[in-house]
Amino acid sequence: MSSAEVQERLKKLGLSARTGTGKGTPRRKVKRAPARSGADDKKLQLALKKLNTQPIQAIEEVNMFKQDGNVIHFAAPKVHAAVPSNTFAIYGNGEDKELTELVPGILNQLGPDSLASLRKLAESYQNLQKEKGEDDDEIPDLVEGENFENEPKVE
């Protein structure tokens, strides 16, 4: 290959890497995938190894009940346990949800405290429904004997 051919190929490559055709145009930026937090996972794994935990398989979901009646819901979490030291590690993507969102599938997981909060929640929901039934100020009362359809239209 002669130097002229090499120069020509380099020129073609240089043109394909530019967004515009002029000399002062910037080159295209390479889009990179966001870096994963692999260092955090390694640190977590090392800490769990120091605690002598064992992974527990086949756990579909974990629900943690908070004092305010909401639930932290983990769908398909990773769970590690060290039973002799009564230590459990649950990690994954947790979502704050209200108890009403999880009610049908969560009833068998509720303890006495959670059942009491569920009763309070049901009572407050019923009270809201009653208040909505009493509060119909937006709907006008019909006046007996008057027909509004026969009124002359204003144009």
Predicted confidence (pLDDT) at residue 64 exceeds the cutoff of 90: no
Q: How much is the pLDDT for 44?
A: 86
Which of the two residues, 139 and 86, has the higher pLDDT score? 86
- DSSP state, 150? G
pTM above 0.85, yes or no: no
Predicted confidence (pLDDT) at residue 19 exceeds the cutoff of 60: no
- Give the rounded percent of residues in the chain with a pLDDT score beyond 70: 72
Distance between CA atoms of residues 55 and 75, nearest Å: 16
Query: Which is nearest to 99 in space by CA: 88, 114, 78, 113?
Result: 114
Q: How much is the pLDDT for 57?
A: 92
Which of the two residues, 152 and 85, has the higher pLDDT score? 85
Which domains does the chain possess?
37-130 (2.20.70.30)
Q: How much is the pLDDT for 135?
A: 54
Distances (CA, A) of 77 to 73, 87, 90, 96, 155: 9, 16, 6, 15, 66
One DSSP character per residue, 61-108 reads EEEEE-TTSEEEEEES-EEEEEGGGTEEEEES-EEEEEGGGGHHHHGG
Distance between CA atoms of residues 137 and 29, nearest Å: 61
Strand-pairing partners, residue 71, are 65, 97
Q: What is the pLDDT of residues 2-17, one digit of tens each?
A: 888 988 888 877 766 5
The mean pLDDT value for 21-41 works out to 72
The mean pLDDT value for 50-72 works out to 88
Q: How much is the pLDDT for 136?
A: 54
Predicted confidence (pLDDT) at residue 56 exceeds the cutoff of 90: yes
Distance between CA atoms of residues 88 and 67, nearest Å: 20
The mean pLDDT value for 85-89 works out to 91
The mean pLDDT value for 100-117 works out to 73
- DSSP state, 118? H
122 phi and psi angles, rounded to 5 deg: -65, -40
